[in-house]
Amino acid sequence: MPKLAESARTASFASSRGIPPHTEARVTPPVRVAATANSEPLISNKDVEHELPALGQLREALAGGRYAILACEPTLEGVLCAVGLSYLAHAAEGQVRLARADACQPSLAEAVIAIPGSECDAAVLLARRVWQGYLRAIEARPREEFPHRLVYAAASDSPDMPELVHRYLRLCFARGAEVRLMTADPAVIALDDLARQVSNECEKTRQFVRFSHLADGSYAASFRPRADTVPLVAQHFCRRMGTERFYLLDPGHRVVALHEAGERRCSLVRLEEATAHDLCDLGELADDERYVRAMWKRLYDALTLEGRGPAERGYDLRLHFMPRRLWEGLTELDPRSDDPGVVTPERYRG
Amino acid sequence: MDTLDKLGILAEAARFDAACTSSGSDRAPKAGALGATTPSGICHSFTQDGRCITLLKVLMSNACSYDCAYCVNRRSASVPRATFSPRELAELTVDFYKRNYIEGLFLSSGVLGTPDATCERMIECLRILRDDLQFRGYVHAKVIPGTSADLIDAVGRLADRLSVNLELPSSHSLQLLCPDKDAKGVLAPMGQIKRERDGEEQRLLEESPRGSRRLRARAAIADKPLGPGADLAMDSLAVGDLAATAPPSATLRQASSPRGAAPLFSNAAKLTATQHSRVATSRRTFAPAGQSTQLIVGASDEDDNHILQLSQSLYRKFDLKRVFFSAYMPELDDPRLPEPGTPVPLRREHRLYQADWLMRYYAFSPDELVTPQEPWLDLDVDPKLAWALRHMDLFPVEVMDAPLDVLVRVPGIGVVGARRITYARRTKRLAFDDLRALHITLKRARHFITCSGQRDPLCPLDPELIRERVIQDAQASSYAKARREREDGQLRLF
């Protein structure tokens, strides 16, 4: 079986934040799958049969005339692996459906088969093979936007995500590049809707993440998006903050992007629940942090214009753009930010 | 006074500037430098009244030596004054940027003595930001009318976007309310910025073989060269010979990814009906994000027809990226201005923005929206719907074969929705349910379309009945109700 290349550049930063070394190797799924080069060897059918017992279980269920529900990790890797197994088991579209492992509700006629996720190298390799097949089917060109809608859709928190991606992939394999023109097909519309929702959530992440300056000179932020957006936006923050050491944590999806000053890329790490919880505590702040927060809040408060608020407008425009669920993390809406602390940084003493 | 207190004063002084965008620039990151820009810009917060905050929008100083009647910072006003040092403001920008509060700096200032002295101070701030602090984020700099050409050139090399505020829509109003400014002084920097950008574009095109071919192809179109900006008068802009300087007619483009696939994520800048630049913004060194301006609405008596004609001329003559409208907030007791307490003309500002959008993205001309005989936009109904109701003879349109420029004129179908329809109909006969799935706003659109020859069964056939129903719907919105309650009870001064 081919070996997976591991990424572990930020060992010191990770360990300084209490991230166990063994978790660091787990680079987030979209990057692992979608970044695969065409020339890399793909996992063979024989290796899949040997490494993934779920294939045998699925074949057995189908041979017994049962329907199957594939309970998979809600990641691109998990879903692509499940789709790959369903094809290798020669399951017709109606015979299997995919569901999130954490929200799987089988009917009496369905056999539940657990599909391994990104912790399993064979699953990742099978996912890569499916990804390559998908690119070939739709005749994708390098750096083209079209295939990446699948990556966005797979980052959705929707309970229907695995099955919607499954149906879309089946359509791609059946119709090939013609899918590009099938804008009004229900499977295409459903996938595009998911991708758009995730894209919107990515934009919210880029907008509303707030970094804090820590005592060790690094920057840190914790953000809870409604999709697995951190892997998709990490490079954006890397472009912005290339000179800084920082981390961006999503405790909900238990993923963190780590960046060392001067590096061109972030490292993405899936975390254990306890580690994610520990990282939420940013630790000691830098001396200037309270003062800068206070300045930002002062600016925010000063920019408001009277006569244009919700009462005068008939609806709350701010809520429309900035949902209340995100307010908790916004420095400018936190009354504690009014306090500039006891230290006025030298450069701001006037 | 420490920076915290200065910031309170100078942000409050800058809040009336409507422009707060960080779009139009595409600067890649560089090793050892902080930041980058993205073409679409990012809004990092929204004020209580819902306006976007994307840049650190402050004045360098509010100790202004001008005495414009509508301005809270005017010389004769009794307000606390403050001035940032160039380094202080540059450091502040970097601190906010690193915390993801902003995309960059919006630098404006009251006139500190003379326009040139003010501009030199602004340039020093930007020099520190770009050179000392190695900042590659977005900078929007305001050019004060009367600034020397060499200083405008210098600030344009440091900033992404420049803007010169017209403030008032006619020479008469400018003379009445801003005794220290004149129309010539306002338009001259706009002309210079346009010429410098055109010159750089020409040079960049000549440098590349592909660009040279494009240049030769375009030579046949022969845009008439613009006269120097200083020779233009603001009023002649609004009523002058537009055709003489108009670029080739506006067209809508069918954006698509390779092999005809519908793009999932639309790049709004590519959907505009105006002529696009022939060189990438990342190659430009002078004001890569172009220029914009602002007009105050409701402080003087110009009608919507005048304002929209003026906007159209500005887009065409100076290649502006945006004209911003700022509803005047009557706070000052001055006989030349609306009385304090008069409701802010929010609906008017909103309708003007909608009309502006129709001109830039939908290829409408101002004459289609307002006329000298009917010079005001309808406050109850949006301008596109109002246009459609005046042209009921053009509807319904058939979604299966209507061209893109017709589809975008259907109320409820936007520039993205129209493009989705044109893609979807290639492989499927569309029904109303398909349009709903494609996120077309059927509540409005259903009255103006047919799908494969079929009308929506819930839609009346009689144009008068349609008119009645859509106007009722528009008037019933919470926005329309709230604004009517506040605005209709008041006398309209202008």
Residue count (chain B): 494
Nearest partner of B265 among A146, A138, A225, A186, judged by Cα: A146
- Say yes or no for a CB contact (<8 Å) between B428 and A308: no
Put simply, whether A11 touches B (Cβ < 8 Å) is no
Query: Residues with Cβ < 8 Å from A149, sequence gap 6 or more?
Result: A191, A192, A195, B264
Question: What pLDDT was estimated at residue A18?
Answer: 63
Q: Which of residues 140-199 of A touch B (CB under 8 A)?
A: 141, 144-146, 149, 152, 177-178, 180-186, 189, 192, 195-196, 199
* pLDDT(B213) > 80: no
* B16: chain A residues, CB-CB within 8 Å: 305
Phi, psi of B59, rounded to the nearest 5 degrees = -90, 145
Mean local confidence (pLDDT), B74-93: 94
More confident residue, B219 or A94: A94
DSSP code of residue A172? H
- Say yes or no for a CB contact (<8 Å) between A313 and B95: no
* pLDDT(B110) > 60: yes
* pLDDT(B411) > 60: yes
Probe site for chain B from A303, A313, A332 (most B CB atoms < 10 A):
A303
Omega before B396 cis (within 30°)?
yes
Question: What pLDDT was estimated at residue B334?
Answer: 83
CA distance B292 to B314: 9
Between the alpha carbon of residue A122 and those of residues A38, A46, A81, A99, the distances in Å are 18, 11, 9, 20
- Say yes or no for a CB contact (<8 Å) between B482 and A312: yes
Complex ipTM: 0.90
DSSP bridge partners of B104: B55, B138
CA distance A164 to chain B (A): 15
Probe site for chain A from B99, B132, B432 (most A CB atoms < 10 A):
B99
More confident residue, A17 or B63: B63
Question: What pLDDT was estimated at residue A97?
Answer: 95
Residue ranges of domains in chain B: 3-253+281-339, 383-487
Nearest CA in chain A to B434: A184
* B264: chain A residues, CB-CB within 8 Å: 145-146, 149, 152, 192, 195-196, 199
Query: Residues with Cβ < 8 Å from B379, sequence gap 6 or more?
Result: B347, B348, B351, B483, B487
Percent of residues, chain B, with pLDDT higher than 90: 56
3-state secondary structure of B490: coil
Which stretches of chain A score pLDDT less than 50? 6-9, 21-31
- Say yes or no for a CB contact (<8 Å) between B264 and A195: yes
Question: What pLDDT was estimated at residue B128?
Answer: 98
Query: Closest to B99 (Cβ–Cβ): which among A211, A300, A315?
Result: A211
Two tokens, residue A277: 């919880």
Question: What DSSP string runs through B246-258?
Answer: PPSPP-------G
Question: What pLDDT was estimated at residue B235?
Answer: 59
- Single-letter residue type at A284: E
**B338-351 tens-digit pLDDT:** 888 888 888 899 99
Query: Closest to A239 (Cβ–Cβ): which among B1, B29, B91?
Result: B29
Put simply, whether A210 touches B (Cβ < 8 Å) is yes
Alpha helices in A209-347 (DSSP H): 230-240, 273-280, 289-302, 310-313, 317-321
Two tokens, residue A105: 């509700």
* pLDDT(B43) > 90: yes
3-state secondary structure of B107: strand
What pTM does this model have?
0.89
CA distance A113 to A138: 29
- Say yes or no for a CB contact (<8 Å) between A219 and B98: yes
Between the alpha carbon of residue A163 and those of residues A77, A79, A198, B359, B445, the distances in Å are 14, 8, 16, 43, 32
- Say yes or no for a CB contact (<8 Å) between A318 and B259: no
Nearest partner of B230 among B315, B105, B318, judged by Cα: B318
* B482: chain A residues, CB-CB within 8 Å: 311-315
Q: What's the pLDDT band for B376 if we cut at 50, 70, 90?
A: very high
- Say yes or no for a CB contact (<8 Å) between A181 and B42: no
Nearest CA in chain A to B38: A236
* B480: chain A residues, CB-CB within 8 Å: 314
Two tokens, residue B67: 């005495």
**B395-410 tens-digit pLDDT:** 999 999 999 999 999 9
Question: What pLDDT was estimated at residue A34?
Answer: 55
CA distance A306 to B16: 11
Query: Closest to B15 (Cβ–Cβ): which among A291, A296, A303?
Result: A303
- Say yes or no for a CB contact (<8 Å) between A183 and B420: yes
CA distance B82 to B250: 46
CA distance B303 to B128: 43
- Say yes or no for a CB contact (<8 Å) between A350 and B3: yes
DSSP code of residue A146? G
* A242: chain B residues, CB-CB within 8 Å: 29-31, 33-34
Question: What DSSP string runs through B410-450?
Answer: STT--HHHHHHHHHHTTTS---HHHHHHTT--HHHHGGGEE
- Run of H or E residues at B291: strand B291-297
DSSP bridge partners of B291: B162
Residue that is written with structure tokens 């050409």 in the block: B149
CA distance B122 to B108: 8
Nearest CA in chain A to B420: A183
Question: What pLDDT was estimated at residue A119?
Answer: 84
Return the CATH number of B3-253+281-339, one of 2.60.40, 3.55.40, 3.20.20, 3.90.550: 3.20.20
**B417-475 tens-digit pLDDT:** 999 999 999 889 999 999 999 999 998 899 999 999 999 988 887 878 888 888 888 77
- Say yes or no for a CB contact (<8 Å) between A144 and B423: no
- Single-letter residue type at B197: R
Lowest mean pLDDT among A53-57, B103-107, B232-236: B232-236
Between the alpha carbon of residue A134 and those of residues A126, A171, B84, B153, B267, the distances in Å are 12, 10, 57, 51, 26
Mean local confidence (pLDDT), B76-91: 94
Query: Residues with Cβ < 8 Å from B431, sequence gap 6 or more?
Result: B451, B452, B454
**B414-428 tens-digit pLDDT:** 999 999 999 999 889
Question: What pLDDT was estimated at residue B240?
Answer: 41
Asked if residue B95 lies in contact with residue B137, where contact means CB atoms within 8 angstroms, the answer is: no
End-to-end Cα distance, chain A:
65
